[in-house]
Amino acid sequence: MSYIFFARWFGLVSVLLALGVLFNLGDARRMARHLVKDESGYIMAGVLPIIFGSLSFMHNHSFNQGWELAVSLIGLFMVFAGVYRVLFVNHWKKIMSRHVDKIPPLFSLFGLMLGLLLLYIGFFSTIVYYGGAA
């Protein structure tokens, strides 16, 4: 799985999920409130980022300057976020409960930003990139 593949796939997933939440904010808020009361929801919110983040980071861990670095950092961040959610469930739960109404629009905003960045990396940055001297 190259960083291009990850960027295309995860970019598309992020944008679709973000748009889905954005145009169904009422349902997303109900789901978030339900998630706050459910222990397994917290675990899932930690397990999924660990799986996808570690897969991404195992395949792309370049720290050279460029878009590869961005993809490496996204993978690493997902792993750390997942580990935090799994290890510190109560702390995570407290934060979620405090901001439960703000989470869907914020999820949508960051999902859109992340998705658009990844789509650019996956589909456009390779076209404009020149790998020669200089």
Partner 1 sequence: MLHRSFKTASKLLLIASFLFLCGCENNFTGVLNPKGVVAFKERQLLFDCIALMLIVVIPVIIMSFAFAFRYRQSHPVKDYKPNWSHSVLLESIWWGVPCVIILILGILTWKMTHKLDPYRPIDGAGKPMKVQVVALPWKWLFIYPEQNIATVNTLVLPVNKQTEFFLTSDNVPMSAFFVPQIGSQIYTMAGMRTRLHLLPTSEGIYEGLNSQYNGDGFSEMHFKVKVVSQDEMKKWFAKAKRSSKSLSQATYRVVRQPTIADPAALYSGVAPGLFKQIIKSYHAPTHP
In sequence order, which ranges of 1-134 are alpha helices (DSSP H)? 3-22, 25-37, 39-59, 67-87, 89-98, 103-119, 125-128
25 contacts partner 1 (rule: CB under 8 A):
yes
132 forms part of the interface with partner 1 (CB under 8 A): yes
Please, which of residues 54-73 interact with partner 1 by CB under 8 A? 65
| Least distance in angstroms from the C-beta of 79 to partner 1 | 21
Distance CA 119, CA 108 (A): 16
Helix H or strand E segment including 25: helix 25-37
Chain residues in the site for partner 1 (CB under 8 A): 19, 22-23, 25-26, 29, 65, 99, 101-102, 106, 108-109, 112-113, 116-117, 120, 124-125, 128-130, 132-134
